[in-house]
């Protein structure tokens, strides 16, 4: 493979000892069929309290072009995603969850769209969320409608598997420190005129373990979204930053 990958797959991981081995097996079943994609995988173990780290240490040696970043203590999804983005070398980066809710067999569709240059931001859209409890389903729908109203855009899913051109992170700064980081990337990319494309994606539901999402995490994302909305309406707002995210030099401990 070439020294600089075309695409980097990034997976933050927290308390997924029952899912991560199967998730990696399914992911690499697809990736190993496509060496022409020139890919790499970055896993971020975020201070799990269960046996996830031990499982990961056993699994990563099985797979090529894979790097493992270890957080000694839990730092949260936002910090994990940031570390994955900083460590990535790909022309494109794609976020994939560790909980097996995303079907890795959909990856070829994502990659081919990127290879054809049809999108700078590619969003998977869960048209059906049958695995969600009714309360979480309504929260998700209300959140999407709220963000679309607040930012005067039309996005159908802000928080599912996404892929981004590296060019975006070389122009924007990430100011959010919550789950709002994904909507922030999307809205700033829209404001800078990048090409956005949505494609249907299957939501399989979690088979093992439970989500770490809670009201505190959701509240932090909502507050960040409101603050960003206020800023975006002012003359101080600049989607392009003089200190873009990927220009920052940070030391990250990578274990293999």
pLDDT recorded at residue 167: 97
Identify the CA nearest to 239 among candidates 164, 178, 172: 172
Report pLDDT digits (tens) over 4-48.
899 999 999 999 999 999 999 999 999 999 999 999 999 999 999
* pLDDT band at residue 176 under the 50/70/90 scheme: very high
Report pLDDT digits (tens) over 46-72.
999 999 999 999 999 999 999 999 999
* Percentage of residues in the chain having pLDDT higher than 90: 78
pLDDT recorded at residue 254: 45
Task: Inform me whether the pLDDT recorded for 180 exceeds 70.
Answer: yes
Task: Inform me whether the pLDDT recorded for 192 exceeds 70.
Answer: yes
Report pLDDT digits (tens) over 106-121.
999 999 999 999 999 9
pTM of the predicted protein model: 0.89
* Percentage of residues in the chain having pLDDT higher than 70: 86
pLDDT recorded at residue 207: 62
> E-assigned strands of the chain?
7-13, 39-46, 66-71, 92-95, 121-125, 162-165, 196-200, 254-255
Three-state secondary structure readout of 23-82: HHHHHHHHHCCCHHHCEEEEEEEECCCCCHHHHHHHHHCCCCCEEEEEECCCCCHHHHHH
Task: Inform me whether the pLDDT recorded for 105 exceeds 50.
Answer: yes
Report pLDDT digits (tens) over 68-96.
999 999 999 999 999 999 999 999 999 99
pLDDT recorded at residue 26: 96
Q: How far is residue 135's CA from residue 114's CA, in Å, rounded to a whole number?
A: 35
Q: What is the mean pLDDT of residues 203-218?
A: 64
**Domain 7-246 belongs to what topology?**
Spore Coat Polysaccharide Biosynthesis Protein SpsA; Chain A (3.90.550)
């Amino acid at each position: 493979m070439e020294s600089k990958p075309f695409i980097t797959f990034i997976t933050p991981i927290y308390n997924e000892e029952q899912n991560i081995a199967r998730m990696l097996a399914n992911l690499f079943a697809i990736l190993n069929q496509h060496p022409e994609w020139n890919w790499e995988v970055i896993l971020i173990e975020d201070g799990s309290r269960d046996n996830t780290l031990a499982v990961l240490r056993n699994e990563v040696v099985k797979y090529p072009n894979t790097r493992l970043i270890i957080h000694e203590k839990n730092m949260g999804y936002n910090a994990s995603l940031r570390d994955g983005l900083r460590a990535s070398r790909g022309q494109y980066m794609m976020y994939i969850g560790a909980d097996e809710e995303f079907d890795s067999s959909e990856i070829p569709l994502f990659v081919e769209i990127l290879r054809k240059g049809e999108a700078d931001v590619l969003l998977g859209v869960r048209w059906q969320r049958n695995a969600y409890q009714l309360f979480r389903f309504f929260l998700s729908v209300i959140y999407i409608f709220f963000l679309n109203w607040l930012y005067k855009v039309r996005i159908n899913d802000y928080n599912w598997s996404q892929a981004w051109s590296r060019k975006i992170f070389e122009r924007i700064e990430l100011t959010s420190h919550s789950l709002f980081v994904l909507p922030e990337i999307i809205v700033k990319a829209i404001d800078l005129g990048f090409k956005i494309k949505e494609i249907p994606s299957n939501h399989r539901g979690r088979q093992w373990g439970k989500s770490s999402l809670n009201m505190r995490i959701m509240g932090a994302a909502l507050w960040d979204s409101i603050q960003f909305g206020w800023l975006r309406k002012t003359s101080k707002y600049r989607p392009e930053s003089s200190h873009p995210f990927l220009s920052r030099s940070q030391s990250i401990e990578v274990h293999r």
